[in-house]
Amino acid sequence: MRLKPILAAVAAAVAVPALAQNITVVNFGGANGAAQKRAYFEAYEKATGGKITAVEYNGEQARIKAMVEAKRVTWDVVEVESPDVNRGCDEGLFEKIDWAKVGNKADFLPAAVHECGVGTFVWSTVLAYNGDRLKTAPTSWADFWDVQKFPGKRGMRKGARYNLEFALMADGVKPADVYKVLATKEGADRAFRKLTELKPHIQWWEAGAQPPQFLVAGDVVMTTAYNGRIDAAQREGKNLKITWTGGIYDLDYWVIPKGSPNREAAHRLIAIASSPEAQANYARLISYGPTNNKALALLDNKVQDQLPTSAANSRDALRFDIRFWADQGEALEKRFAAWAAQ
């Protein structure tokens, strides 16, 4: 697993003497957690002599808030989704990142640089289908909506996020204009009208494991899905495929809960996980894109072709707009719930 280059990068990234410091790192588990263990945690343990205790959670920010308010912080580094890095930072739940201990900001995707977090990987919600069951590949969200050309059920996550953006793209809105249109009353109405066209053909999903299961079982002809879940199914030998056009990408971040007693070691782990070599190793284990731009040069074409961050896959992609959903998300989710119940 290219251990020597990783350890060399670790030595370069860690400017202070390595101390054997044990820390607790929290993530979402699954294939992502396993990849982090091999690419990041084992490198940290070899470089410092410290041990990492890995904890799984489901993104419950309330657990971090309770620790911080009680001044009994037992988590040192936590993986959070993009809305949570902003909200937690605003609420004072996270330490400010000392970027001098992490890396050169210029090496990272701009979206990965946050005052309270370090973007660790890029993931995408995409259009997926079963290559064994669908011989003609859908090429756009317009195809996803075309039940004449592609008859059958469609899988979609039960919620407003992503679906409203996909609906507008299916209706001809360019990715660059989606949030400008969706921010207007007319644009939101247009998105819901487009969703209504497809509603009789939708099979809802709520857990990320469901879309590949639906595809393999033949329950749906195509579905929205997290690209890492499709990648995991492909590694198991399933002939599932991705259409990247109009995918919506987002980042997960490392944060340090406010009051962590191991802030130096936490920064050291984040520095290791942010090095080009370690990020490239992670991307070989699961198809989530590096946030350190220098990692891409270390990956062969076969790996790059599966990443949301590759030039081809990101060309017609849309970045998830955290601020838009912070401002309008509550109202749109309520409207969606009422619409879905009709």
Q: Is the overall model pTM greater than 0.85, yes or no?
A: no
CB 22 within 8 A of CB 13: no
Return all residues near 330 (Cβ < 8 A) that are at least 6 apart.
Answer: none
**How far is 149 from 145, CA to CA, in rounded Å?**
9
Average pLDDT over the chain reads: 92
pLDDT in tens, 269-298: 999 999 999 999 999 999 999 999 999 999
Share of the chain above pLDDT 70, in %: 94
| Model confidence at 2: pLDDT above 90 | no
CB 256 within 8 A of CB 89: no
pLDDT at 114: 97
pLDDT at 322: 86
Q: Which of 92, 151, 128, 297 is nearest to 222 (CA)?
A: 128
Q: Where are the domains of the chain?
A: 3-122+250-314, 124-248+322-341
Mean predicted confidence (pLDDT) in 78-82: 94
| Model confidence at 145: pLDDT above 60 | yes
CB 52 within 8 A of CB 23: yes
DSSP for 120-150 reads: EEEEEEEEEEETTT-SSPP-SHHHHH-TTTS
**How far is 188 from 80, CA to CA, in rounded Å?**
28
Return all residues near 290 (Cβ < 8 A) that are at least 6 apart.
Answer: 121, 122, 276, 279, 280, 282, 283, 296, 307, 309
> Which DSSP category does 39 fall into?
I
298 alpha-carbon distance from chain centroid: 21
DSSP for 47-94 reads: HHS--EEEEE----HHHHHHHHHHT----SEEEEEHHHHHHHHHTT-B
Best CATH choice for the domain 3-122+250-314 from the list 3.30.2080.10, 3.40.47.10, 3.40.190.10, 3.60.15.10: 3.40.190.10
52, 76, 179, 246, 323 from 176: Cα distances, Å: 41, 37, 8, 10, 16
**How far is 65 from 89, CA to CA, in rounded Å?**
11
pLDDT at 19: 52
- The residues facing 52 across adjacent strands are 23
pLDDT in tens, 52-72: 999 998 888 999 999 999 999
Mean predicted confidence (pLDDT) in 203-214: 92
pLDDT at 270: 98
CB 293 within 8 A of CB 108: yes
β-pair type (118-130, 154-157): unpaired
pLDDT in tens, 254-267: 999 999 999 999 99
| Model confidence at 115: pLDDT above 60 | yes
Q: Could you tell me the pLDDT band of residue 309, with boundaries at 50, 70 and 90?
A: confident
pLDDT at 162: 95
Mean predicted confidence (pLDDT) in 300-322: 91
Q: Does domain 124-248+322-341 have CATH number 3.40.190.10?
A: yes
**How far is 169 from 192, CA to CA, in rounded Å?**
12
pLDDT at 29: 86
Runs of H (alpha helix) within the chain: 3-13, 30-36, 42-48, 61-70, 82-90, 141-145, 163-170, 178-182, 185-198, 210-217, 227-235, 263-273, 276-285, 301-304, 311-314, 322-341
pLDDT at 18: 47
Share of the chain above pLDDT 90, in %: 81
Q: Could you tell me the pLDDT band of residue 148, with boundaries at 50, 70 and 90?
A: very high
β-pair type (77-81, 222-226): unpaired
pLDDT in tens, 214-227: 999 999 999 999 99
Establish whether domains 3-122+250-314 and 124-248+322-341 are of one fold.
Answer: yes
pLDDT at 137: 96
**How far is 138 from 24, CA to CA, in rounded Å?**
43
Return all residues near 337 (Cβ < 8 A) that are at least 6 apart.
Answer: none
| Model confidence at 12: pLDDT above 50 | no
